[in-house]
């Protein structure tokens, strides 16, 4: 894992054109362009703190059972496994300017330069405890995408990776009561605080609507993320809303 240096050798001009990046954005976010920023000491410290939090994440009792019951398969069994994955694969974590400001984070899968996780530079100066936790959730999500070592994405893969955010968020809420209270910026309201509500929503209607809206254009499933009933129904929902 490399979090403290921008390697100009790996990233000429610090610029990426990610036609196949898993951009976590709305339709139109692809291709996502990202320009890496050199992190200062505060930003490096924020990411280090986020990783310290991530490695302690354990899922609450029954949460994994619940995820499996709704057709979602979290790619890691806990935060420590993702932390190890980052270390073992020398994954770089950097802030970057994104062409789509609504994207929280993305994975840059590059077999030559190495896989990197980019966090929206809009969040580069956010360093409260809640921010650190939110960034750790974003990193966890991107680890889920990165674990496959491919550039393929699907509705099912998004659901599987979103579940990581949710599982970590619920753990943090329990570990640090009220830590997310009064945090309603975009990162929270449209990200880390939103999905736990949607995943635990009755009938999952809100989750299906949201995922259809953001990721419905993707294939329902892939080789490593077999489409479950929920992914198929989201794809159908997307088709229904886009049919003329
Ligand atoms: Zn994603």
User: pLDDT averaged over consecutive 10-residue blocks of the chain (244 residues)?
Assistant: 43 39 52 89 95 98 96 98 97 94 91 91 93 97 95 96 97 97 90 94 94 96 96 97 80
Gap from CA of 13 to ligand 1 centroid (Å): 26
Give the per-residue pLDDT at 1.
Answer: 57
Q: How far is the CA of 23 from the centre of ligand 1 (A)?
A: 7
Distance 212 CA to ligand 1 centre (A): 13
Q: Which residues pair with residue 107 across a beta bridge?
A: 22, 117
Q: What separation in Å is there between the alpha carbon of 29 and the centre of ligand 1?
A: 12
pTM given for the model: 0.90
| Helix or strand holding residue 117 (H, E) | strand 116-120
Distance from the alpha carbon of residue 153 to the mean position of ligand 1, in angstroms? 8
How many A from CA of 30 to the centre of ligand 1? 13
Angstrom distance (rounded) from CA 110 to CA 142 = 14
Q: 103 C-alpha to center of ligand 1: Å?
A: 10
Question: What pLDDT score was predicted for residue 24?
Answer: 54
Distance CA 87, CA 115 (A): 12
- The protein residues having their C-beta less than 5 angstroms from ligand 1 (an ion) are 24, 158, 161
138 CA to centre of ligand 1 in angstroms: 9
Q: Which of 176, 37, 22, 212 is nearest to 109 (CA)?
A: 22
Place of tokens 């310290």: 52
Cα 182 to ligand 1 centre (Å): 25
Distance of CA 178 to the CA centre of its chain: 23
Structure tokens at 133: 């936790």
Residue 156 zone, left/alpha/beta (φ > 0; ψ -120 to 50; rest) = alpha
How confident is the model at residue 13, as a pLDDT?
A: 34
What confidence score (pLDDT) does residue 243 get? 80
How far is the C-alpha of 63 from the C-alpha of 68, rounded, in Å? 9
Tell me, in angstroms, the distance from the centre of ligand 1 to residue 163's CA.
10
Nearest-10 Cα torsion for 133, 136, 141, 147? -160
The CA 223 to ligand 1 mean position distance, Å, reads 17
């Amino acid at each position: 894992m490399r979090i403290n240096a921008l390697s100009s050798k790996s990233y000429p001009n610090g610029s990426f054109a990610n036609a196949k990046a898993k951009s976590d954005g709305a339709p139109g976010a692809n291709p996502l362009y990202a320009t890496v920023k050199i992190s200062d000491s505060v930003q490096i410290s924020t990411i280090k703190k986020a990783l310290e939090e991530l490695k302690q994440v354990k899922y609450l009792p029954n949460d994994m059972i619940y995820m499996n019951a709704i057709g979602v398969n979290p790619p890691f069994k806990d935060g420590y496994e993702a932390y190890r994955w980052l270390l073992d694969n020398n994954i770089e974590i950097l802030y970057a300017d994104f062409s789509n400001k609504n994207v929280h984070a993305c994975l840059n899968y590059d077999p030559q330069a190495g896989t990197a996780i980019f966090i929206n530079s809009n969040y580069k100066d956010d360093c409260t405890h809640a921010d650190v936790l939110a960034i750790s959730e974003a990193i966890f999500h991107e680890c889920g995408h990165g674990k496959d070592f491919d550039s393929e994405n699907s509705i099912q893969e998004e659901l599987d990776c979103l579940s990581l955010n949710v599982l970590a968020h619920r753990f943090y809420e329990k570990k640090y009561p009220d830590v997310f209270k009064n945090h309603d910026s975009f990162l929270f309201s449209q990200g880390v605080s939103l999905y736990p509500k949607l995943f635990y929503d009755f009938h999952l209607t809100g989750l299906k609507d949201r995922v259809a809206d953001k990721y419905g254009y993707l294939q329902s499933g892939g080789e490593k993320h077999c489409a479950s009933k929920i992914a198929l129904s989201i794809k159908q929902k997307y088709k229904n809303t886009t049919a003329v």
